[in-house]
Amino acid sequence: MHLMGIDFAPLNVPLARRLQTLAVFHHVSMFFFAGIFGTIYLTFLLITPFFWVTWLYVAWYIYDLGQSSRGGRRFELMRRLPLWNWLRDYFPCRIIKTSDLDPTHNYLIGYHPHGLMAIGAFCNLLTEANGFSRLFPGITPYLLSLKLMHYFPLYREYVMSLGVCDVSKESITHIMKGRGVAATIVIGGAREVLDAVPGVTRLTLKNRKGFARMALQTGCHLVPSFSFGENYLFRLLLDNTPGSFTRNLTQSITKKLGVAPAFFVGRGVFNYTFGIMPYRVPVTTVVGSSIEVEHTPDPTQDQVDSLHREYLSQLESLFYAHREACGYPNETLEFIDN
C-alpha cells in the first residue's frame, strides 16, 4: 500500500517473513540501542526498591571488566538459537568455503567490507546459521569487536555470550593460546562505514598492518574473506566521497571517538521507504584459503610488510574470482589509506 509517499508492507505477509523481520529487528535494536538502554535501565533501578540490583551489577562489572580480553564467556546455545536462522533467511546470508581449515592451527580471518553492521561476519562466521562448525570442523569461532562495545553494561554480557571479544592485542594473544581457533577481525573498522556505498568497494586497508604483525607474533595463519552485498544493506544520506566536507568532518569525529557518525537510511519494520532496518539484499561471504604464517615473536617491518602485501594480493584475487558468481560483475575494489 502506497500512502503519502510511503510504501507500507501488506497485511498478509507470511509468518516466515514476519519471523525474519523480527529477528533482524532484534539484531539491529541490540546493535544500536542495547548499550544505551542497559545503562539507562540500571540507573533507573537506583530510584526503585531494587536499587541493590544495580550495586550488585556494578560490583560484578568492576570485577569482570577485563573478561573481553580473556576469551570472553561464550555459550554454545546462544550461537545456535533459531533466531539466527531467521536472520539468515531475511537477506538471505550464505557462505562459500574455498578450502578447509586445519584444526591443528589457529587463524585470523580478515573480514571485508565493514558496511554498517558487518552482518555477514556475525551470521556466517560466528553463529551456526549456515553451519560454520559443519563447514570447518574442529574450529572454534570468535568475532573481535571494538573495545568500546564491552564497556556498556548488560550489553557486554550479551555479546560475550555469543563469542564476541575485544580486538586488543591482549585479547588476540589470549585467544591464540589454544588450538583450532578462528578469530574474525573486521579490519577496516569504523572508518570503512563512511565508504559503504554501491559500485566501488573501498577498503581501509593500505596502511593497516597491525593484524599482519599479530599473525606473525602469535603464529596464526591469515585467511581473507569478503562479503558481497554488505555495502548494499543501507543507503548513506550524505556525500562521503574523499575530500568532501562531510568526509573530513566524519573522519575527524571517528578518529576521536572510534565510531563513525554515518547518516543512513534503510527500510522500516512496517514500510519499505525509510527506517533503521537493512534492505533485503543477499549477503554472500566467501572465505579464502589460509596464508601460512611462521611464528615470529619479534617480526621486522619488512616481514610485516611482506605478509601484508601477500594478504592484499590474496584478497584482491578472491574478490575478482567470485564477484560475478555472487551477483556483482561490475563491482570494483580499491585499497585506501586511513
pLDDT in tens, the chain (338 residues): 666 677 878 888 899 999 999 999 999 999 989 999 999 999 999 999 999 999 999 999 999 999 999 999 999 999 999 999 999 999 999 999 999 999 999 999 999 999 999 999 999 999 999 999 999 999 999 999 999 899 999 999 999 999 999 999 999 999 999 899 999 999 998 788 888 888 999 999 999 999 999 999 999 999 999 999 999 999 887 666 666 666 667 667 666 666 666 678 899 998 888 899 999 999 999 999 999 999 999 999 999 999 999 999 999 999 999 999 999 999 999 998 87
Q: Residue 108: which residues within 8 A CB-CB, separation 6 or more? A: 172, 182, 183, 185, 211, 214, 215, 220, 221, 222, 223
Alpha-carbon gap, residue 49 to 56, rounded angstroms:
14
* 140-162 pLDDT, tens digit each: 999 999 998 999 999 999 999 99
Count how many domains the chain has. 1
Q: What is the pLDDT at residue 260? A: 62
pLDDT tens track for 72-104: 999 999 999 999 999 999 999 999 999 999 999
- Burial class, 329, CB count within 10 angstroms (exposed 0-12 / middle 13-18 / buried 19+): exposed
Instruction: Tell me the pTM.
Output: 0.92
> Which residues 6+ apart lie within 8 Å of 153 measured at CB?
35, 38, 39, 42, 57, 61
> How many H-runs (helices) and E-runs (strands) does the chain carry?
11, 13
* Structural domain harbouring 42: 2-336
Nearest Cα neighbor of 193 from 321, 310, 32, 49 is 32
